Amino acid sequence: GHVLSSVDLCDASIDSKAILCLKPHVSLGLETLDLTSTQLCDEGLAYLVGMLESSPTPICQTLKLKHCQITEIGGLCLQLSKLTALTELDLSHNCLGSDGARRLANVLPKSHLLRIDLRGSDLSSEGVDALKFALGDAKLVEELWVDAMEVGFDNVGRAPVNLRTDDIDAFRSAM
């Protein structure tokens, strides 16, 4: 049969349980899974993490979970070191807060992530500080994007900042 390399469900009207329909494709391996602006929520993320975890092959290089109403990433964080193929993670515009930032910071050095987008995720300065500290041991991470105002650059508003370099420049659309 045909194996999908990319699934784009951006703006699809799916709920947390509908994510289970992806299981056959996820277990065969996907390069990109885009669930941007779906109503995945925390329950759907838990289902997704279970599928990624149980896959017999390394899967999903790029996982886009922008605007998915996610508030709890503990389960995802627990699996990040095991998801060896995952190199790009977009969790932007979810309500992760400082707790989510700290959870991610704790596992960042053990992950294989190269690019992470956390813009618009209400990380707080404490959460951003935890991420900055984790970058010292997370040698693979090339880009970790947050809002400039969370780093203390008040005059540039929500402009993206790469914490790896502290550069305020145009966000690379590679995510």
Q: How far is CA 94 from the centre of its chain?
A: 10
Give the dihedral sign, CA 10/13/14/15: positive
Q: Are 135 and 104 in contact (CB under 8 A)?
A: no
Residue 25: per-residue pLDDT: 64
Residue 172: per-residue pLDDT: 41
Residue 153: per-residue pLDDT: 61
Q: pLDDT digits over 129-145, tens only?
A: 999 999 989 889 999 99
Q: Which residues of the chain have pLDDT under 50?
A: 1, 170-175
Q: Are 41 and 14 in contact (CB under 8 A)?
A: no
Residue 28: per-residue pLDDT: 63
Residue 157: per-residue pLDDT: 58
